[in-house]
Amino acid sequence: MQSIEQRVKSQFAKCFTQRDCHLFKRMAEYYLRCAATLRTVDIKTDPALRLLTRNTQKRLFIGIGVELLLKAVYLKRGYAINRLKDDAPVKGRFPFRLDAVTHTDFDVNNTHTLNDVLQSLHRVIDLKALNSIKDGLRIAKVFRNKEGHVVVSQHRFEPRDYRAIESALVEIYARGFGQNLRVRFSIARGEKSAWKVT
């Protein structure tokens, strides 16, 4: 008999293919655009919690958006995001090309984590400034993990963290999708947001 977790997990079961790239990218862009443009006045909660809630949502949306965007890059480039089944006869290490592994060898209930995807990104796309790009992506990962697991009443604002994420995203759009991105996550008072893909 399936556990509750297994039953619900099976509702999302899918072996993702290159065709899924566009949906991953569109959803990533939704989250990232929201993170860039969300304003305190958009938050419907106790006025004393609005700024905290806005900033928390921005960081959480950045992390979710980054994960979906990187998975879109993998799929677009023909790499699998599903984990292999434990008994799959495939040799080697992640990432695996979709056309090099039998569809039935993939675990439809499990995809690779954001950390897995980050660690192997250099094998999927050519990144000139790999370390600086990975720094921005790692910051996004920490934002997602922390905001999804804890609540703190204050968070020290480090503008360079947001600029690092923006720089990483610009590079991912250029190298992963051949597109130009203009992005600015408005966090500081009076800071103008930007989100435009061309």
pLDDT digits (tens, 9 = 90+) for 74-104: 999 999 999 999 888 887 889 999 998 988 9
Mean pLDDT of the 27-44 span: 95
At residue 28, does pLDDT exceed 90? yes
Question: Which residues neighbour 157 within 8 Å (Cβ) at sequence distance 6 or greater?
Answer: 187, 188
At residue 31, does pLDDT exceed 90? yes
Percent with pLDDT over 90 in the chain: 75
129 pLDDT band, cuts 50/70/90, is: low
At residue 153, does pLDDT exceed 90? no
Phi, psi of 170 (to 5 degrees): -60, -45
Q: How far apart are CA 32 and CA 175, in angstroms?
A: 18
Q: How far apart are CA 33 and CA 195, in angstroms?
A: 6
Q: Under a CB-based contact definition with an 8 Å cutoff, are residues 118 and 138 in contact? A: yes
Q: What is the pLDDT of residues 99-114, one digit of tens each?
A: 989 889 999 999 999 9
Provide the mean pLDDT of the chain: 92
Sign of CA dihedral 143, 146, 148, 151: negative
Predicted pLDDT at 89: 85
Q: Under a CB-based contact definition with an 8 Å cutoff, are residues 186 and 24 in contact? A: no
141 pLDDT band, cuts 50/70/90, is: very high
Q: Is the pTM of this model over 0.85?
A: yes
Higher pLDDT, residue 158 or 27:
27
Please report, for the chain, the start and end positions of each structural domain, with discontinuous segments joined by +: 20-84+92-197
> How far from 84 is each of 32, 77, 93, 112, 134, CA to CA, in Å?
29, 18, 10, 9, 25
